[in-house]
Amino acid sequence: MSQPRPLGAPSLLALGLNGVIGVGIFFAPSAVARLAPGWVGAALFAVTGALLLPVAAAFARLAAHLPEDGGPIVYARAAFGEGAAFLVGWISYLSAIASAAAVIAGLVHHGLGLSGAAERAAMVATALALGGVSALGLHPSAKVWTALTVLKLTPLVALAAWSLVARPTAPPVEASLPPLGQLARAALTVTFAFQGFEIVPLVSGQARSPRRAVPVAILGTMAIASLLYVLLQRAAVTNVADLAASGAPLRDAAGALGGAGFAAVVGVGASVTALGISFGMIVMTPRYLAGLGEAHVGPALARSDARGVPRLALAVSLALVCALLVAGSGAQLFALSSVAVLTQYGVTGLSLLALSLRRARGLRPAHAWPAPFVIAVGVVLVVFGGSRWEWLVAGGAVAVGAALRAGARALSGR
């Protein structure tokens, strides 16, 4: 008898929102205001969210037709074979490991105020504690990430709503369209604030009614995040006098509207957000490794237990995260972050196009409509986004992974 699937649409929506709405939004309003001041910055969040909807639609469409754990890895495998699956899975996995270590390090550093060996010990303890919760099973993990998502969204939603009904406390900002290059840099900042929804399909195989629930969660995440981001940028613009110079724009906006108490609540929200992101990464990162499958990592790493946890992949991932935390290194791998997102977007768009044109997995050519938009977004981000250093790191990571894969296949006689 098969085990019941633990994830419903609300849990998946919470997973997506937890992945997208990270610590960066607490600082992004200032960065955007320096490049696109006033109403232009708020409009940029709306326009960018709308332009990224086809990307989300591509993920949603494929999730509906390939309701299996692994997300972009599964799509690449179905469309182009194991080589493409390895490429997207390996880069995404290394990026997720480095990102998890970076977020946990930031959480402990800013939350506990320790230093030296004590700080590193606290970082490792935090990673292991989050891993311990994750090992309890996907169902309890979903309860934890849902609770953390509600906790971190509450002050942000309150700030956005308060700013709508309260009189602005900052003088109006003279704003006009900035030069195209400057606007493009602002759009890049906004674009990467929307990344994170792509983790939802990683657990498609654990979802109840996955053909409906996963697409609803992906598109719902983008819609809610877009609206919230627009309102938060507006709140910052209308309530922080020198927004471009603010080091904590949302906290400053909250202070202008509701005093020190409300500012403190929003400040605590940043810590809760970091905790939520850290936990989500610990839960989801091993799934990239497991998603590579028996062809690349072997059956033991690819296998999940009855609770939906890839235990060996979790143990390996925790060991790597802790190693980065102890070494105090990972900046080089962290450079993979934007490349990993671009890889997932690009491969997913191309997979949708290829499978739709082949009429595979129940897809039809008409279903391919988001693909050109996704590919165009990927090209724009490649040209204006990832730096030469990031692509060099990505190339090195792929080379190392390919060597490890070849060695494993040689040992297994495949």
pLDDT tens-digit readout, 207-249: 999 999 999 999 999 999 999 999 999 999 999 999 999 999 9
Buried b (16+ CB within 10 A) or exposed e, 54-76: bbbbbbbbbbbbbbbbbbbbbbb
Q: Is the pLDDT of residue 196 over 60?
A: yes
Confidence at residue 191, expressed as pLDDT on a 0 to 100 scale: 86
pLDDT band of residue 3 (cuts 50, 70, 90) is low
Compute the distance between CA of residue 138 and CA of residue 247 in angstroms, rounded to an integer. Answer: 37
Task: Map tokens 């955007």 to a residue.
Answer: 32
pLDDT band of residue 188 (cuts 50, 70, 90) is confident
* pLDDT digit string, tens, across residues 130-139: 999 999 999 9
Give the residue-averaged pLDDT of 242-267.
Answer: 95
Task: For residue 207, list its beta bridge partners.
Answer: 7
Q: Residue 365 corresponds to which amino acid?
A: P
Give the residue-averaged pLDDT of 371-392.
Answer: 73
Q: Which two tokens stand for residue 92?
A: 């995404």
Q: Residue 302 corresponds to which amino acid?
A: A
Q: Is the pLDDT of residue 292 over 90?
A: no
User: Helices 210-239 and 249-291: crossing angle, nearest 10°?
Assistant: 160
Contact 317, 286 (CB under 8 A): yes
Q: Is the pLDDT of residue 361 over 70?
A: yes
Compute the distance between CA of residue 252 and CA of residue 107 in angstroms, rounded to an integer. Answer: 21
Average pLDDT, the chain: 88
Compute the distance between CA of residue 305 and CA of residue 313 in angstroms, rounded to an integer. Answer: 11
Q: What residues have CB less than 8 Å from 170, skipping those under 6 apart?
A: 237, 238, 239, 240, 241, 243, 256
Contact 346, 338 (CB under 8 A): no
Compute the distance between CA of residue 149 and CA of residue 269 in angstroms, rounded to an integer. Answer: 10
* pLDDT digit string, tens, across residues 312-360: 999 999 999 999 998 875 555 555 677 788 888 889 999 999 999 999 9
Label residue 293 exposed, middle or buried (CB < 10 Å: 0-12, 13-18, 19+): buried
Confidence at residue 331, expressed as pLDDT on a 0 to 100 scale: 52
pLDDT band of residue 412 (cuts 50, 70, 90) is low
Give the residue-averaged pLDDT of 385-404.
Answer: 72
Percent above pLDDT 90 for the chain: 62
Confidence at residue 299, expressed as pLDDT on a 0 to 100 scale: 83
pLDDT band of residue 1 (cuts 50, 70, 90) is very low
Label residue 228 exposed, middle or buried (CB < 10 Å: 0-12, 13-18, 19+): buried
Q: Is the pLDDT of residue 95 over 90?
A: no
**CATH class of the domain comprising 9-412:** mainly alpha
Confidence at residue 219, expressed as pLDDT on a 0 to 100 scale: 97
Q: Which two tokens stand for residue 414?
A: 């495949």
Confidence at residue 387, expressed as pLDDT on a 0 to 100 scale: 65
Q: Is the pLDDT of residue 272 over 70?
A: yes
Least trusted range by pLDDT, from 48-52, 232-236, 382-386: 382-386
Q: Own/partner pairs for 248-254, CB < 8 Å, 24+ apart?
A: 248/26, 248/27, 249/26, 249/27, 249/29, 249/30, 249/33, 250/25, 250/26, 250/29, 250/156, 250/159, 251/26, 253/29, 253/159, 253/163, 254/155, 254/159
Is 171 or 266 the better-scoring residue by pLDDT? 266
Confidence at residue 379, expressed as pLDDT on a 0 to 100 scale: 72
Confidence at residue 140, expressed as pLDDT on a 0 to 100 scale: 95
Q: What residues have CB less than 8 Å from 173, skipping those under 6 apart?
A: 37, 38, 39, 237, 243
Q: Which two tokens stand for residue 187?
A: 């759009």
pLDDT band of residue 46 (cuts 50, 70, 90) is very high
